[in-house]
Structure 1
Amino acid sequence: MPKAKRSLSTTGKEVKRAKRVKTEETAVEEKQKQVIKTIEESDEESAKHVIKSGDQKFKAYSSFLEESPFPKFKHPTPRECEVANEVLQEMHGEEVTKEFEDENTPETIPHALDAMIVAILSQATSWSNAKRAMNSMKKVYGSIFAYEKIMEGGKDKLQETIRCGGLHIRKSMIIMTILKQAKERHGKWDLDHMFELTDEEAMKELLAFSYIGPKSASVVMGWCLKRNPFTVDTHVYRIAGLWGWRPSTATREKTQSHLELMIPARYKFSLHFLLIQHGRSCPACIGGSKGGQKCTAAAKMKALLK
């Protein structure tokens, strides 16, 4: 009998915990909906802001194309980049190669708008969560890139479809906005004209889209358009701080500008993916690490740089 009581008590606690989690999730969703409603209610003003913010984003991005925002900060050196690439290739090369075999990885997507949509789905989440959202879109719409069906189905349907990938309310709003802007500007859901643009022209056009910043734009530039920018995501930003590749107070945007100039072109593509893989698996460099762990890669690099 005592066992039964403990079991019932445990079940009661689990029910309460589940209710609390559900309440918190609902509160987050309601907050997101309020933000979106505010944006939608000021449609005309938002349109003006989009143009202005696009210009501002490009101005901020282009201000450090020729000189680092930290001209006196000399790391990483070309030699440090070479050694890092060597060490990380040995540690994570196989995992990165395997990831490239995924047909939905943005690097393998041939069309610019499609790569942008996948980049949005992968924002602020794991690749496995992004793939859940993509698989759900395939099931509901027949394809991740069935833009006609997505627009006809509306925002609410898209929200429910990508709920499994996280941040579904915000991401559905961004996707619908970008599809609308692409159609308004070019008369079709196709941005492949960017393959013919210069790097500056392509970046300027990407940043003109709402909710697209230097990081997402660089993803499309590097992975799909096959240009050569160095993209700084959360993993790269964190590791750059731990390894002394950026000032401790540097923002992610300024870190990207700095590393874009400091990392030799031949290492940009490989280092980006190797650093991401390292950031997912190294006990010392993974997000949420409380310190006290040893970074094997950093130790190997230090020994080789002596």
Structure 2
Amino acid sequence: MASANRPRGGTTPAPTAETRAFLVEVHGRLCRTYHCPIPYFHELDPLDELVSSLLSHRTKNADSARAFGNLRAGFTDWEAVRDAPVERVEQALSPCTWPEAKAPALQRTLREITERQGRLTLDHLADMTVPEARAWLEAITGIGPKTSAAVLSFSALHRRALPVDSHHHRVAVRLGLIPASLAVGPSHRVLEAMLPEEWDAQQVYDNHEILMLHGQKVCHFRSPQCSRCTLLDLCPTGRDRTAGQVRAAPTAQAGLL
């Protein structure tokens, strides 16, 4: 299945009906497990969501939330963050990984938005289509497909955009939806193309959340819990792992005789 979805020549191939049906079956099972629809976890405006998303890169949610809170408590607004000495911003971001890199990068992003819009706001995204809004965001230095999708989906805009994090990506690879050679960034376009066109923003958000949750709770990076996975019969990786364990059992038993 993965080879059918491998991008060629920079284009996204149309998913087959079989691939889409497979994804819908996966989605249905995981929705029953994790109780869709899943509530949105906050209602930030788009600019707040952008800052939050940038801070979360390679950082635990609790730590990035602390850093975000430090910014809101220590500065009057995002213009003040933009214009502050970088050392003050770096200090506020100390709960994050790499605050020394994130502080100047955040200020650069805020300056770029100001230069492009004439003021520091992302309110104009509400008047754009999703492709237009994502292209506008991704033209900013340091913003890729995950961040653009997060801004549109997770913010109060609640638009139809699919973020893909490392857990989501890992589950999709193991299911054979995408090849292991397809990195997280380009996988956004491929996985989003598989979603049924009639799905609304809530269903697209659910798809991200349930695949992410499954990666966190069952399909771990190390030692995935295949034996208790609701997708085991659909998952080629899980079937191979459990078959290998069954084959190894007689050998292990024989060593005890």
When the two structures are superposed, what TM-score results if normalisation uses the length of structure 2?
0.76
Residue 258 (1) aligns with residue 190 (2): yes
Q: What one-letter code is carried by the residue in structure 2 that aligns with 1:234?
A: S
Question: Could you say if the C-alpha distance between residues 291 and 223 of structure 1 is closer, same or farther in structure 2, counting changes exceeding 3 Å?
Answer: closer
Number of the residue aligned with 2:241: none
Report the identity percentage. Answer: 21
Q: Which runs of 4+ in 1 moved over 6 A?
A: none
**Do 2:226 and 2:232's aligned partners in 1 also have CA atoms closer than 8 Å?**
no
Shift of 1:234: 1.0
In structure 2, the gaps of 5 or more residues are 1-6, 236-257
Shift of 1:137: 2.2
* Worse-superposed segment, 191-200 or 223-232: 223-232
Residue 170 (1) aligns with residue 104 (2): no
Separation of aligned partners in 2, 1:162 and 1:95: 33
**Do 2:164 and 2:188's aligned partners in 1 also have CA atoms closer than 8 Å?**
yes
Q: What one-letter code is carried by the residue in structure 1 that aligns with 2:23?
A: C
Cα deviation per residue 1:168-203 (whole Å; 9 max; x = unaligned)? 122212210111111122221112112112333222
**Do 1:76 and 1:245's aligned partners in 2 also have CA atoms closer than 8 Å?**
no
Shift of 1:213: 0.9
* Matching of residues 1-306 of structure 1 within 5 Å: 63-64=10-11, 67-68=12-13, 74=16, 77-93=19-35, 96-97=38-39, 100=40, 102=41, 105=42, 108-109=43-44, 111-141=45-75, 146-224=77-155, 225-265=157-197, 266=199, 267-282=203-218, 285-287=219-221, 289-290=222-223, 293-294=226-227, 296-299=229-232
Q: What one-letter code is carried by the residue in structure 2 that aligns with 1:272?
A: H
Separation of aligned partners in 2, 1:300 and 1:85: 14
Question: Could you say if the C-alpha distance between residues 117 and 301 of structure 1 is closer, same or farther in structure 2, counting changes exceeding 3 Å?
Answer: same
Separation of aligned partners in 2, 1:301 and 1:178: 42
Q: What one-letter code is carried by the residue in structure 1 that aligns with 2:46?
A: A
Q: What one-letter code is carried by the residue in structure 1 that aligns with 2:183?
A: T
Cα deviation per residue 1:220-252 (whole Å; 9 max; x = unaligned)? 233334332222211111111111111222222
Aligned length: 223
**Do 2:52 and 2:65's aligned partners in 1 also have CA atoms closer than 8 Å?**
no
When the two structures are superposed, what TM-score results if normalisation uses the length of structure 1?
0.64
Separation of aligned partners in 2, 1:247 and 1:177: 35
**Greater C-alpha Rg:** 1
Separation of aligned partners in 2, 1:295 and 1:150: 47
Separation of aligned partners in 1, 2:150 and 2:142: 14
Separation of aligned partners in 2, 1:123 and 1:270: 21
In structure 1, the gaps of 5 or more residues are 1-59
Shift of 1:270: 1.0
Higher helix share: 1
Question: Could you say if the C-alpha distance between residues 76 and 235 of structure 1 is closer, same or farther in structure 2, counting changes exceeding 3 Å?
Answer: farther
Q: What one-letter code is carried by the residue in structure 2 that aligns with 1:84?
A: V
RMSD: 2.8
Cα deviation per residue 1:111-169 (whole Å; 9 max; x = unaligned)? 32222111111222222222121222233236xxx213213432111111111122212
